[in-house]
């Protein structure tokens, strides 16, 4: 299983007077990592011909803060793994590390959305195969789908 790794550089505006990153800054780092993976999915698969009508939306995000994230010059490292691939959604786990220590972990439910039809769109086989390289093997059968995505199953 591969891990999708993304680095984020902290900005001075992300921290308070004590040099600790705000919750919203950490949420934006997680979103930036998810967006980097989605850009990679889009460029690596052939869905590009109609990508104007597709968006990858965050349906739910939960972040567990393990310890304060202090300002640092070197980029923060975020590791993303796919926990579950559903017909129209993926469940992701992003771990944020600072100076080699885990400081936060996020669980994200992301869905592929057809903006022209205003409804979820099924992931194609090529997208599923691409995401599978980041799939955690023991999580293939975890977690029931949330009520809001039951229709997408």
Angle at which helices 125-132 and 23-44 pack, to 10 degrees? 120
CA 151/CA 2 separation, integer angstroms: 30
114-150 tens-digit pLDDT: 888 889 989 888 899 999 999 998 755 444 434 433 4
30-83 tens-digit pLDDT: 999 999 999 898 887 765 555 566 788 999 999 999 999 999 999 999 999 999
Cβ neighbours of 101 (radius 10 Å): 9
* Higher per-residue confidence, 14 vs 114: 14
Q: What is the CA radius of gyration of the chain?
A: 16
- Kindly report the pTM of this predicted structure: 0.82
């Amino acid at each position: 299983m591969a891990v999708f790794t993304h680095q984020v550089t902290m900005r001075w505006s992300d921290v308070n007077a004590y040099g600790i990153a705000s919750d919203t800054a950490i949420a934006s780092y997680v979103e930036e990592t998810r967006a980097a993976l989605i850009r990679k999915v889009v460029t690596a698969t052939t869905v590009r011909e109609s990508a104007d009508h597709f968006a990858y939306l965050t349906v739910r995000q939960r972040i567990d803060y393990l310890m304060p994230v202090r300002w640092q010059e070197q980029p923060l490292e975020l590791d993303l793994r796919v926990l579950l691939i559903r017909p129209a959604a993926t469940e992701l786990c992003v771990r944020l590390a600072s100076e080699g220590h885990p400081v936060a972990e996020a669980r994200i439910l992301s869905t592929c959305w057809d903006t022209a039809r205003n409804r979820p769109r099924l992931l194609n086989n090529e997208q599923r195969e691409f995401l599978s390289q980041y799939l955690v093997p023991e999580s293939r059968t975890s977690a029931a789908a949330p009520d809001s995505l039951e229709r997408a199953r």
